[in-house]
Copies of this chain bind each other. A is one copy, B any other.
Amino acid sequence: MKTGRFIGVGLGPGDPDLMTVRAARLIGQAKVIAYPSLPGTESFAHQIAAPYISDNTHEIVLEIPMTTARGPAQAAYDFGAARIAEALDLGEDVVMLCEGDPFFYGSFMYLHARLAEHYSIDVVPGVTSVSAAAARAQLPLVARNEAFSVIPAPLPDDTIRKRMEASDSFAILKVGRHLGRIRALLVSLGLADRAHYVERATLENERILPLPEAPDPAPYFSLILVTKGADPWLKTQS
């Protein structure tokens, strides 16, 4: 029997209207979808995709524990990959719902690593939370030959500071309980007044705040955007 395709579909930042035309169509036509979920909570990926999911679609829920210990998450991905492989072996395509973009900090990557050797895989890129936050905050990110960085907040201060210094613009992701530390770093570099805090971009309870007003700790789905200075080309000569 011909095995099915495993299709990682980027859902974009949260507003269902911001997934791609292809993503919406693939989800609507899917007989089998898979998605990650924290045990005991509603899946954010499923929430975004819900308006497009057909009745009678079979759902494979991958319960992934939120932990920094490697064993439990590894085991969950192994188990999830095996369940997806079962459906693929039956000849069914499996559409995996991925928040944002599948290859940009997504759990899809862990399943891709486990299934790519034996199955055909497609990846549909999505709008990242970084692009969405910039759009909502109306903050041009990079122009011409400016360099951009994406920096996870849990990294050590020294690493973060060097990357902040080396970039024209940057996004700090996974802010959460690191907000105070990141704020202190930005203040020490004289960048605090160039920083914008964006929480749940494009969702109903979105908040966009100047850095001093940001909540500490911040929720998980929050990021900080910093643009060091407008490229002079952005301005008119007149």
Interface residues of A, Cβ cutoff 8 Å to B: 10, 12-13, 15-22, 24-25, 70-71, 73-75, 77-78, 81, 101-105, 109-110, 112-114, 116, 121, 123-128, 131-132, 134-136, 138-152, 154-155, 159, 162-163, 166-167, 174, 230, 233-238
Contacts and interface: CB of A to CB of B under 8 A. Distances in A.
Contacts of A163: 147, 166-167
A78 B236 contact: yes
A131 B125 contact: yes
Contact of A140 (B22, B109, B135): B109
A146 B141 contact: no
Number of copies of this kind of chain in the complex: 2
A236 to B, nearest CB: 5
Ranked nearest first, the 10 interchain pairs of A and B with the lowest CB-CB distance are A125-B131, A123-B135, A125-B135, A109-B140, A113-B234, A148-B150, A17-B22, A145-B152, A103-B134, A101-B131
A112 B138 contact: yes
A70 B236 CA distance: 10
B70 A102 contact: no
A123 B136 CA distance: 7
B140 A146 contact: no
Contacts of A13: 125
Nearest to A146: B152
A21 to B, nearest CB: 5
Contacts of A174: 145
A74 B149 contact: no
Nearest to A202: B125
Contacts of A24: 21
Given A147-B149, A147-B152, A166-B163, A19 B18 contact: no
B233 A110 contact: yes
A21 B123 CA distance: 18
A104 B150 contact: no
Contacts of A132: 125
